A and B are shown apart, each in its own frame.
Chain A
Amino acid sequence: MKQTLVRRHQFQTLRRLLLNIPLMVVILIPLLYTLSISVMQPDEIYTNRLIPSSVSFENYVRALTGSYYNFPRMILNSFIVSTSVMLGQMVTCSLAAFAFSFLEFKGKRVLFLAVLATMMVPGEVTIIANYLTMLRWGWLDSYRALTFPFLTSAMGIFLLRQYYLTFAKELYEAAKLDGCSNIRFMGSIVVPLSRPALGALGAYVFLNTWNQYMWPLLVTNSRHYRTVQVGISMLYDIDAYSLGLMMAGVIIVIVPSLSIFVFMNKQLIHGLMAGAVKG
């Protein structure tokens, strides 16, 4: 009996592997090919070769140590900006969502609709106006300009509010009866319970900010405040581009964001399970 169970288990694992490995290969091939091009000799790139005949890290050395590109600084910048925006949104969105789901006040519905309405305005429409605001304030070329416009988002408020609405109203009422303040209720009940939603929001916001291109390009001029996506475009030129160098840049930029995501992912699953058990 036990043996058949084990065998069945092994069979299932095998089946899963057989299904997942080809899928994984399909998804990973572009990434692996990028990696492979970044270590190839230039004259090998266009020969339909998947695996380089010899490995050279010249492109990485050039991108990382060249004073013109200054990738380490750009990675640090992106990290500072993405983390600030992520933390900012987690705080502002959860507070706003708390108000919109637990508190009763006049004009709540209208206000919430107004927040939602801002989601309908595409970012491209406001980018020039925002840029001019930054220009007038003299904020160009600073971390403030890179983070401030993104410290809250309608999407985040909406996501968290929907999540908070699933909490039983009685929870809040009971806490109130026991003399619990709103802030304490947030801190000891709402936030721990909404970790999966907060984590998802955090990961989403982090990656979005990491991948921003147009805004950082507009509001920064000096190399000290440039972020990684602008850095990648520095490797490209319409008349003379070196694919190897560009791909090395892409890999350098992917690695930090990928590792953050892997870490967040663990948090996410942990949070999801905690929520499931507590019900």
Chain B
Amino acid sequence: MKRTLSLFLVVLLLAGSAFAAGKTEAVKAEGPVELTFWHAMGGVNGEAIAHMVDQFNKQYEGKIHVTYEFQGTYDDEFAKIQASGGNYPCDVMQVYDIGTRYLIDSGWTLPVQKYIDKDKYDISQIEPNIAAYYTVEGTLHSMPFNSSTPLLYYNKTAFDEAGIKKVPTSFEEIYEVAAKLKQYNPDGSVKRYGFGMGNYGWFFEQWIGKQGLHYVNNNNGRGDAYATAVDFDRNGGGVKIMRVWDKVLKEDIAPYLNRGNNDAKAAFIAGNIAITLESTAALKSLLLNVGDKFEIGVGYFPKIDKNDVGGVSVGGGSLWMMNTGDTRREDASWEFLKFMISPDMQAYWNMMTGYFPITVKAAETDVFKQNIAKYPQFQVAIDQLHSSAPQYAGALLSVFSESRKIVEDYTERLANREGTPESAVEGMARDINRAITNYNLVNY
């Protein structure tokens, strides 16, 4: 038994080295251009990417061949590109929204604007409110790809039972509606809360934009200079948001549902909260998980104050072209980007994932029309995006992932009854400013 085992293991080892040796690294000068595409989409979304790339390879057979490579979560993928420095392990890369400033500063990438100008590509085909996020000083740096905005999701069945007709659009209305939706167990404990939201830094950023304010200085980090400090502590936007958190938790309007969105999502699906906040991209998985238990309705992401004028900005990711210095590969990358944002592909992408179709013309495709007929809720998301404006595109900041964590930290402390809304915003501003200063000292 032992002998067979060791024999088996030796064979495995040999097989392993044979596999390793069998790999050819030679790059042929002739034949199709080989491109590598890094992405960070798991599950259904990853399957959709695979399908789209396969379609591309079929269409460009003999000319361009793209290999897609999954690189873990957005954070993992970003850490990997940071680690490899300027060694360009890929030609096209999907990066999350908050990595935008870092990549612009790095100099590793080519602005897609270069090819838009060269190719005379009609930029009006791209949704202006989505393109605005990735545009700095009139230059579109990366190609929008998977874009989402936050939405308000509600339990329509519970709304009907409570006789609520109007979907809340601001927190004043949420307080009112949530009181009607709250249900108690016979022993006095809460059976269902009217409202609940995850402690997610993205929402904080969105509410700043909803108030029409800036998150950081220097025109929200989009001016000719990079951001040097946060702005939400000075313009009063931060305190208003934290007062909402404070009120919601102190008056038991909503339970504290931890960081991120997973707990809020689970509570909503289980029917333990009747209103929640989530990304548009979560619509499909929510519908699937809720099934026939209740009907899901959606509304605009709520305003902090009913008189706020502002809009939502997109989150998600975009496709970056790496500055490989090899014109042949860069030209091929541009062809690939154009294919990925073509109306047919975007309609398919939207149907499979719930991200916005970033191309205006996708709305004319049959795939899209069928999808909207099946999920009418999605129309609300599109209306919300159209009602926003490019000036609310959101901030650009090189230390965004860190600052998001800081915001969540202080929100959590407030939830634990530590400090006041004012002291929380003060702490956030202090910590984020320190991170910004450190980054700027090292990098500029």
Interface residues of A (CB under 8 A from B): 41-43, 45-48, 66-68, 79-81, 83-84, 87, 128, 131-132, 135, 138, 140-144, 214, 217-218, 221-224, 230, 233-242, 245-246
Contacts and interface: CB of A to CB of B under 8 A. Distances in A.
Given A142-B20, A142-B23, 12 more contacts: A45-B289, A135-B84, A223-B70, A224-B19, A233-B42, A233-B76, A236-B43, A237-B45, A239-B281, A240-B43, A240-B44, A240-B281
Interface in B151-186: none
**Which 5 pairs show the lowest CB-CB distances between chains A and B?**
A43-B291, A239-B281, A237-B42, A46-B269, A80-B16
Nearest to A236: B42
A56 B68 CA distance: 30
Given A43-B292, A83-B9, A141-B23, A242 B44 contact: yes
B279 interface: yes
A242 B285 contact: yes
A110 to B, nearest CB: 33
A166 B9 CA distance: 30
A24 to B, nearest CB: 28
Given A142-B23, A217-B76, A237-B45, A43 B288 contact: yes
Given A87-B13, A217-B76, A135 B87 contact: yes
A239 B36 CA distance: 24
Nearest to A141: B23
B13 A83 contact: yes
Contact of A68 (B9, B36, B50, B266): B50
Contacts of B12: 79-80, 83-84
Contacts of A144: 20
B16 A47 contact: no
Contacts of A141: 23
A81 B87 CA distance: 26
B46 A68 contact: yes
A143 B16 contact: yes
A41 B288 CA distance: 10
Given A135-B87, A221-B69, A239 B282 contact: yes
Contacts of B45: 237, 239-240
A143 B19 contact: yes
Contact of A237 (B43, B67, B87, B89): B43
Given A143-B16, A235-B43, A239-B45, A221 B89 contact: yes
A88 B84 CA distance: 28
A48 B9 contact: no
Contacts of B284: 240
Interface residues of B, number: 51
B17 interface: yes
Given A80-B15, A84-B16, A241 B42 contact: yes
Interface in B8-52: 9, 12-13, 15-17, 19-20, 23, 25, 36, 41-47, 50
B309 to A, nearest CB: 28
Nearest to B74: A238
B353 interface: yes
Given A68-B46, A138-B25, A245-B43, A222 B67 contact: yes
Contacts of B288: 42-43, 242
30 contacts: A42-B289, A42-B291, A43-B290, A46-B289, A47-B270, A68-B47, A68-B50, A80-B15, A81-B16, A83-B9, A83-B12, A84-B12, A128-B83, A135-B84, A217-B71, A218-B83, A221-B36, A221-B89, A230-B70, A236-B42, A236-B43, A237-B46, A238-B73, A238-B74, A239-B353, A240-B285, A241-B285, A242-B43, A245-B43, A246-B43
Nearest to A242: B43
A245 B43 CA distance: 8
B80 A217 contact: yes
Residue from the set B25, B44, B50, B353 with the largest chain A CB neighbour count within 10 Å: B44
Contacts of B36: 221
A243 to B, nearest CB: 8
Contacts of B41: 237
B72 A217 contact: yes
Contacts of A224: 19
Contact of B266 (A46, A79, A235): A46
A232 B282 CA distance: 20
Contacts of B20: 142-144
Contacts of A135: 84, 87
A99 B399 CA distance: 50
A104 B17 CA distance: 36
Contacts of B292: 43
B340 to A, nearest CB: 17
A87 B291 contact: no
A170 B19 CA distance: 47
A234 B16 contact: no
Interface in B275-289: 279, 281-282, 284-285, 288-289
A140 B87 CA distance: 13
A66 B71 contact: no
Contacts of B289: 42-43, 45-46
Contact of B69 (A41, A80, A222): A222
Contacts of B50: 67-68
A132 B82 CA distance: 11
Nearest to A267: B2
Nearest to A47: B270
B293 A43 contact: yes
A239 B354 contact: yes
Contacts of A230: 70, 72
B282 A240 contact: yes
A45 B293 CA distance: 12
